[in-house]
Amino acid sequence: MAISSPGIGSNLDVNGIVSKLMSVEQQPVTLLNKKEASYQAKLSAYGSLQGAVSSFQSALQGLGDVTKFQSTKATPTDSTVLSASASSIATAGSYSIDVTTLAQSQKLVAAGQTSITAAIGSGAATTLSFDFGTVSGGAFAAGAYTGAGFTSNGAGIKTVTIDGSNNSLAGIKDAINNAKIGVTASIVNDGGASPYRLVLSSDNVGKSNSIKVSVSGDAALSSLLAHDPANDTGQNLSESVTAQNAEFKVNGVAISKTSNNVSDVVQGVTFNLLKAASSTTLSVSQDTASVTSSVNALVTAYNSLNKTLADLTAYDPKTKAAGPLLGDSTVLSIQSRIRRMLSTPLTNPSGSFSSLGQIGVSFQKDGSLAVDSGKLQSAINTNFSDIAGLFATNGKASDSLVSYTGSTANTKPGSYALSVSQLASQGNALGTVDLSAAAPITITTGVDDELAMTVDGIGVSITLGAGTYTADALATEVQSKINGVSALSSAGGAVAVTLAGGMLSISSNRYGSASSVTGITGSAAAALLGAPVSTTGVDVAGTLGGGSATGSGQILTGASGGANGLRVTITGGVTASRGTVSFNQGYAYQLNQLTTSLLSSTGAISSRTSGINASITDIGKRRDELNTRLAAVETRYRAQFTKLDTLISSLTTTSNYLTQQLANIAANTTKA
């Protein structure tokens, strides 16, 4: 086998020659590597850009909520008297609050027992039935009522079973608590001869949550726990704390509520009463700080994005260093589109503002945004409610009984004429018996205490509390029992029961064609309602922007043209032309749509990065092809110079031989 070592025979530097030749041949690969590094830098820069745009979008999504610009705050002068909160619908003003009593729950105490573990009674299965309602009339002394009445609140009767497994004082306590029926049981030790006493406390405060306990079964348990405040001799529990309502005044108007948390006295304001026999002033005002914060949040979010764009496209003349996306047309387009959107006034604004400059937001020389706090505060002070329209999707009706409710992606900014041809109504059943003339009205258990009906398509069955009622009290009892039916309340349904000319009127609280009160039957139906006349509710009807619209309850929805998807709620008024509804998409909404487009799988950023990745892939293929060709070139160079080395070596050997022979000839000639 021949062993070859290039250059050994001829001293020719074959490796060095081939290496230098290949360095020249590899220059196209070096150029491709530099180009790939440039693309990789751009790809990384687009990743930074995508992150900045995504962060900008996240900031915008919060600003698209109209309530961020319409919030109000409620501040009491004495926070120990009450705490309060206000929603966007609250009206600014000052309210004097005088709290007389706080709502509290009733507490009942059983007779003392010598042991908490000893069995009470025989252990026979016994049912404790708990009802909740209002104790009225009569007198109260030494923990008991005389001559009082009890009217159930309609929440329904809750039961607990006691038997041989739990008929001790401790067992009864645990059984009641485990049943979670709205009553909490505890045991106290009063230090007496029979010290252990069961205490029952209603979980809900207010007069209408007093407790009535009926016992069916063991006589000993009945003697201990049966309690009917309307039965002078049937009160085996002693009332230690009387249920009471919160009694207070707002601007001098006396108010009684079953809870210390009150949200239906001043529209949009919730009170939490904390201290009785005390007074304070509640100030409800526009929450200007939240608006200022929201405006500054937009400016901060934009400036952060703008800095990223500037850094990626920058050029430093001193160092001659350029940003990875300098001159990139896609980046310049994104920057231009966002700036143009922020600079362009809104078309058909829903309020008095149409541009950011009107509230003090403007571009600076370096391309950033800045806020003129004085101008912003002036705008807040003069047109607080209109600022929302600059940022969020918003609408505004010229009619006070019409309110903007919502829109869809199909709705276009514009001002749309509203015409109402039919107002929505509620389903109703009107009795034909004059209860005012029939009063007092007596309801007897098992005789005339049952009513059944269908409310908004939901079957309702109730049992009225036995007793003697005025017409108004009976209406309250019927309403309470119907609204206490869980199937109805869980579906968001309710009724209002009133007297109309002495006749009982049951109206669904829902509006529209799905609203109805029908099929009234039961043992109390004839006496209380006679032959009731049921009327199904109707949906609102009309047009928006001169085009068709569909009604559902009180909501009218545009179905054509630019008003397609525009929803307004019509709460009253007349059937006629009702002015206009202006709709606009604010800056936050528009910018959010733009950034969503930019970040989508078919957006500008994705398209550009896909193109860069394709270029990098193409460079890789071209480099592989060049490397394959260069390997062949190097092999050829080595073969050629190896042959040259061999030839030179052979010629050198021949030359040396001839030189030796000539030398020998010369030597022999000299001797001769």
Residue 19 has pLDDT above 60, yes or no: yes
Boundary residue ending a domain (526, 559, 585): 585
Domain-located, residue 640: yes
Answer yes or no: are the C-beta atoms of 530 and 476 closer than 8 Å: no
Q: DSSP string covering 358-380, please? A: GGTEEE-TTS-EEE-HHHHHHHH
Mean pLDDT of 74-100: 92
Please indicate, yes or no, whether residues 234 and 280 belong to a single structural domain of this protein.
no
pTM of the model: 0.67
Domain-located, residue 528: yes
Mean pLDDT of 90-100: 92
Please indicate, yes or no, whether residues 355 and 267 belong to a single structural domain of this protein.
no
Strands 82-86, 139-141: pairing kind: unpaired
Model confidence at 357, pLDDT cuts 50, 70, 90, reads very high
Structure tokens at 232: 């002078």
Judged by DSSP in three states, 140 sits in: strand
Mean pLDDT of 138-163: 90
Please indicate, yes or no, whether residues 498 and 416 belong to a single structural domain of this protein.
no
Structure tokens at 566: 């525009």
Rg of the chain (C-alpha set): 44
**Given this model, what pLDDT does residue 381 score?**
87
Question: Count of alpha carbons within 13 Å of 563, Cβ hemisphere only?
Answer: 25
Please indicate, yes or no, whether residues 339 and 433 belong to a single structural domain of this protein.
no
Domain-located, residue 489: yes
Report the C-alpha gap between 31 and 618 in whole angstroms: 14
Mean pLDDT of 560-581: 95
Answer yes or no: are the C-beta atoms of 619 and 447 closer than 8 Å: no
Judged by DSSP in three states, 598 sits in: helix
Q: Which of 432, 446, 429, 430 is nearest to 524 (CA)?
A: 446
Model confidence at 481, pLDDT cuts 50, 70, 90, reads confident
Domain-located, residue 592: no
| C-alpha pair distances (Å), 180 with each of 130, 400, 561, 594 | 12, 46, 55, 52
Please indicate, yes or no, whether residues 112 and 222 belong to a single structural domain of this protein.
yes
Please indicate, yes or no, whether residues 483 and 412 belong to a single structural domain of this protein.
no
Mean pLDDT of 49-66: 84
Please indicate, yes or no, whether residues 369 and 408 belong to a single structural domain of this protein.
no
**Given this model, what pLDDT does residue 672 score?**
61
The per-residue pLDDT of the chain, averaged, comes to: 90
Domain-located, residue 391: no
Q: What is the pLDDT of residues 382-393, one digit of tens each?
A: 888 788 888 888
**Given this model, what pLDDT does residue 6 score?**
53
Answer yes or no: are the C-beta atoms of 323 and 45 closer than 8 Å: yes
> Which amino acid belongs to residue 376?
L
Report the C-alpha gap between 342 and 589 in whole angstroms: 12
Domain-located, residue 596: no
Eight-state DSSP code of residue 111:
P
Mean pLDDT of 451-458: 96
Q: Give, for 558, the enclosing helix (H) or strand (E).
A: strand 555-558
Please indicate, yes or no, whether residues 556 and 657 belong to a single structural domain of this protein.
no
Domain-located, residue 172: yes
Place of tokens 């404790």: 128
Boundary residue ending a domain (189, 224, 244): 244
Model confidence at 643, pLDDT cuts 50, 70, 90, reads confident
Among 26-40, 124-138, 630-644, the range of highest mean pLDDT: 124-138
Structure tokens at 388: 């929302």
E strands, 217-299, are 238-241, 246-250, 253-257, 261-262, 269-273, 278-286
**Any residues with CB less than 8 A from the CB of 483 and at least 6 apart, and which?**
154, 489, 494, 495
**Given this model, what pLDDT does residue 191 score?**
93
Judged by DSSP in three states, 71 sits in: coil
Mean pLDDT of 407-423: 94
Mean pLDDT of 492-504: 93
**Given this model, what pLDDT does residue 8 score?**
53
* Of 279 and 347, more confident: 279
Please indicate, yes or no, whether residues 324 and 430 belong to a single structural domain of this protein.
no
Instruction: Report percent pLDDT > 70 for the chain.
Output: 98
Domain-located, residue 499: yes
Model confidence at 467, pLDDT cuts 50, 70, 90, reads confident
**Given this model, what pLDDT does residue 10 score?**
62
Q: DSSP string covering 457-520, please? A: TEEEEEEPPSEEE-HHHHHHHHHHHHHT-HHHHTTT--EEEEEETTEEEEEEEEESTT--EEEE
Judged by DSSP in three states, 314 sits in: coil
Q: What is the pLDDT of residues 234-246, one digit of tens each?
A: 999 999 999 999 9
Residue range of the domain that includes 416: 396-424+540-585
Mean pLDDT of 124-145: 93
**Given this model, what pLDDT does residue 1 score?**
38
**Given this model, what pLDDT does residue 2 score?**
40
Among 266-270, 289-293, 515-519, 610-614, the range of highest mean pLDDT: 515-519
Residue 487 sits in a domain whose CATH number is: 3.30.70
Q: What is the pLDDT of residues 297-332, one digit of tens each?
A: 889 989 999 999 999 999 888 888 888 889 889 999
**Given this model, what pLDDT does residue 515 score?**
97
Answer yes or no: are the C-beta atoms of 517 and 495 closer than 8 Å: yes
Mean pLDDT of 538-564: 96
Considering its fold, how many domains does the chain have in total?
6
Q: Which of 350, 389, 351, 396 is nearest to 588 (CA)?
A: 389
Please indicate, yes or no, whether residues 179 and 137 belong to a single structural domain of this protein.
yes
Report the C-alpha gap between 150 and 182 in whole angstroms: 18
**Given this model, what pLDDT does residue 9 score?**
53
Residue 350 has pLDDT above 80, yes or no: no
Please indicate, yes or no, whether residues 213 and 113 belong to a single structural domain of this protein.
yes
Please indicate, yes or no, whether residues 449 and 509 belong to a single structural domain of this protein.
yes
Mean pLDDT of 35-47: 88
